[in-house]
Structure 1
């Protein structure tokens, strides 16, 4: 395997530590991991090898290669690499990091269940807009200052997006000031701002050892608290059912109900099932993390972009006013008539591109990438951050320019914030609906004002796995005053 992998160009590895020191140097030299990877791409081409310690990993930095591998040969390139930090809680379970039949079965169940609860239908729009209205009404009670809602941006979107996904999963919204939610978000932020390549590639036994305790306390250990809350929520539901305080309707009220119904049916049918309370805990943990953090982070980045580009807001309002007549909310049915809003959302997702380093996959059979032989067992990834900053497709990639998607109708297909192929995000339709409805209606109904200095289009975590937005306060000023 190693001999074949070395055929793909890349920086020469050092014994044991591989390319970690060089990757760190490139990241330091270029102001972050994305800049460092881009320099490596320029030197070694659109497909290159990086050794993460003793592990050789192949990285795709070209859309056409990504499409050919992940779409045309999806079966070969659809297996998740789930070692190290990815397996810290999951241990081979869940929807994000599991593999084989278990992954297929649980992903299919999650998709089917979420669709039953409105994903992709009008009922989901109603749920999103109900929560959007509730959040503004609620924050007006606690954060009303000088004729505006003045709030930390990520806090506002965390409660809004978190409650949308939480109601789908467990029929509960988070009320402002909820101590468990505040602690959860504190731990999650701590983890995502510090999680590094070391935490991804170090063996799980090493991460859990006393030797690495200093590290896991600030990176992976906070996930224990989040997972504990998930398990506690499930246990409460089971207890209320046993006490006759909660009755599961014919289709269930939420994801947990549907999962418990599946468990009961499999037991009655004598099926040797992977659906049990432990796997429910991991599935719920995966769905909540994915449904909460990605969209909330993107919306926080969106406000950074818009605060720095007020002309974009003006163009969006002109278009939305024409479509709605200024007397109704924007709806998902308006998408075909709002090209500038669509382009702005695309550009926000491209700029945000919230993973500095994409999740890895592993090959189960010998194959080729861009004509070069790769052996079974090789790990690889399509680096979305490199595709979204590719000068060949996105001229002046650091600049926020929604117009680029209007000038080139084919550009949108090369924007893949939800991933590509079999492992793309299963919550894509929900996230797209949230971004469209929340941003569209927010711009129509409120002026955006920074509190103090405008936040910069710059991440505070350039070398972490996740590209976090800056922390800043914002004023949402009602336009109908």
Structure 2
């Protein structure tokens, strides 16, 4: 019996050794960039610290260089690190690196549709249409500025009703930011106490949390295995399906009252486009719903999370908060609401907002790219269809571009005279062909919501925050801010 058991174990070890040797030889024959040696089946997953995917990828870059390969299961991922490398790939060679790669947390639901996860002509059509429609509804124009100003006013009123109560600001900020995109997509905003609206926003938050958590990171690395394993990652599709049904209800309402000559919102524009291009499947109902979902994620969670990070940072550094408020009082005063033209006269405030975006790194890994053809990059041959991770966090922490990359420092965006200066290492919206379609909208929201809040309130907290409290966790797909509570104290002038 013992001899049989020993023989079986020996045979298993011999087979494992042969498999590993064969895999290792096959792996090393590839002309991909170097990286940690993968194991059969699991690749490099065991070398990535649990729940710390992004930190592990950054550490690999220090060991293997700015261009390296990591294996998630049997799939190679080429990782790009640092400003020079990421800029060359996404901007200088944007055609080759401009495809959308695999995003296992979302791929099963989106299946290559919608503006974010599509490729080829479908992506071009949806992006072109969405940019045009967003501009028509005011993105970068006065009308959208007025919508944001109006919503900022509602936010101030809601905060005043709290009477300096200590709160978690998450819901307030998510509701305010989401109402802007709601006004564009649905043609109306929601009251903050609207239960259905709150349920909708909770679904967005839950999706981000489940995709970015430890289980979501494992799904990113081992999708074929995690598909069969129960856990929080399995809830993502259910969240997304509930969101899809909500959007479908709104689409049906618009269909019943549609006037192609007088579009009220993005949905009306898409429905009209459907009628005009009946033979073009790119503008079917599913692509409409998924594109709207994309717009909501891009226009709600990312901006509201940036504001939450921003408020936390200003609580940590009250002297910076005071300096921003001084500039608000000097340029805007108290007798009118902020407008986007004020930004050019407020270099310090502008620098603080840019630094909040850089430091908070909402999407540290970017959304996965893929090379669209066989590509030679930095002496390595990358086959068509290989996924690429351009680490935006590595750009934002590149010491060649930022003097104190791991510290919050508005001077990164100010010259010696205190004037605002651009920094090429600023890429929170990505870069190149896949740069965020809502960049102009997000920039406007961040300025108007932040300045309106500080014009009316002093931000305080019972907690004394330290530097480690404001550091982004750099864990998974998105940087969700830490939980904290704060109070808004009305200013007395």
TM-score, structure 1 normalization: 0.89
1:156 correspondence with 2:176: no
Whichever of the two has the greater Rg, that structure is 2
The structure-2 alpha-carbon separation of the partners of 1:72 and 1:410, relative to structure 1 and needing over 3 Å to count, comes to farther
Query: Counterpart in 2 of 1:50?
Result: 70
Q: Choose from 132, 145, 148 the match for 2:152.
A: 132
1:175 correspondence with 2:191: yes
1:11 correspondence with 2:11: no
Which segment drifts farther, 176-185 or 450-459? 450-459
Deviation at 1:374, TM superposition (A): 1.5
Q: Choose from 448, 464, 479 the match for 2:476.
A: 464
Q: Choose from 360, 381, 404 the match for 2:368.
A: 360
Is contact 2:401-2:423 (8 Å) kept? no
Query: Counterpart in 2 of 1:479?
Result: 491
What is the DSSP-based 3-state SS (H/G/I as helix, E as strand, rest coil) of the residue aligned with 1:221?
helix
Query: Counterpart in 2 of 1:185?
Result: 201
Is contact 1:393-1:411 (8 Å) kept? no
Is contact 1:458-1:470 (8 Å) kept? no
Deviation at 1:102, TM superposition (A): 0.5
Deviation at 1:307, TM superposition (A): 0.4
User: How many Å separate the matches in 2 of 1:446 and 1:5?
Assistant: 59
Is contact 1:79-1:364 (8 Å) kept? yes
What is the DSSP-based 3-state SS (H/G/I as helix, E as strand, rest coil) of the residue aligned with 1:283?
helix
1:440 correspondence with 2:470: no
Per-residue deviation, residues 204-258 of structure 1 (Å, max 9, x unmatched): 7x665xx3343433444322222222222222332xx2xxxx3436241110010
Q: Choose from 308, 313, 318 the match for 2:321.
A: 313
User: How many Å separate the matches in 2 of 1:93 and 1:7?
Assistant: 29
User: How many Å separate the matches in 1 of 2:451 and 2:40?
Assistant: 52
- Unpaired segments of 5 or more residues in structure 2? 1-25
Deviation at 1:323, TM superposition (A): 1.9
User: How many Å separate the matches in 1 of 2:157 and 2:377?
Assistant: 52
Is contact 2:68-2:78 (8 Å) kept? yes
The structure-2 alpha-carbon separation of the partners of 1:360 and 1:371, relative to structure 1 and needing over 3 Å to count, comes to same
User: How many Å separate the matches in 1 of 2:195 and 2:234?
Assistant: 21
Is contact 1:251-1:258 (8 Å) kept? no
Query: Counterpart in 1 of 2:239?
Result: 222
- Summarize the alignment of residues 107-122 of structure 1 with structure 2, pairs less than 5 Å apart: 107-122=127-142
Deviation at 1:4, TM superposition (A): 7.1
- Unpaired segments of 5 or more residues in structure 1? none
Query: Counterpart in 2 of 1:200?
Result: 220
Per-residue deviation, residues 351-398 of structure 1 (Å, max 9, x unmatched): 110124321111121112233322212111210011112233323333
User: How many Å separate the matches in 2 of 1:189 and 1:397?
Assistant: 28
The structure-2 alpha-carbon separation of the partners of 1:430 and 1:83, relative to structure 1 and needing over 3 Å to count, comes to closer
TM-score, structure 2 normalization: 0.87
User: How many Å separate the matches in 1 of 2:319 and 2:281?
Assistant: 55
What is the DSSP-based 3-state SS (H/G/I as helix, E as strand, rest coil) of the residue aligned with 1:71?
helix
The structure-2 alpha-carbon separation of the partners of 1:185 and 1:207, relative to structure 1 and needing over 3 Å to count, comes to farther
Is contact 2:458-2:488 (8 Å) kept? yes
Deviation at 1:292, TM superposition (A): 0.8
User: How many Å separate the matches in 1 of 2:421 and 2:452?
Assistant: 27
The structure-2 alpha-carbon separation of the partners of 1:149 and 1:251, relative to structure 1 and needing over 3 Å to count, comes to farther
Is contact 2:305-2:480 (8 Å) kept? yes
Aligned length: 459
What is the DSSP-based 3-state SS (H/G/I as helix, E as strand, rest coil) of the residue aligned with 2:182?
helix
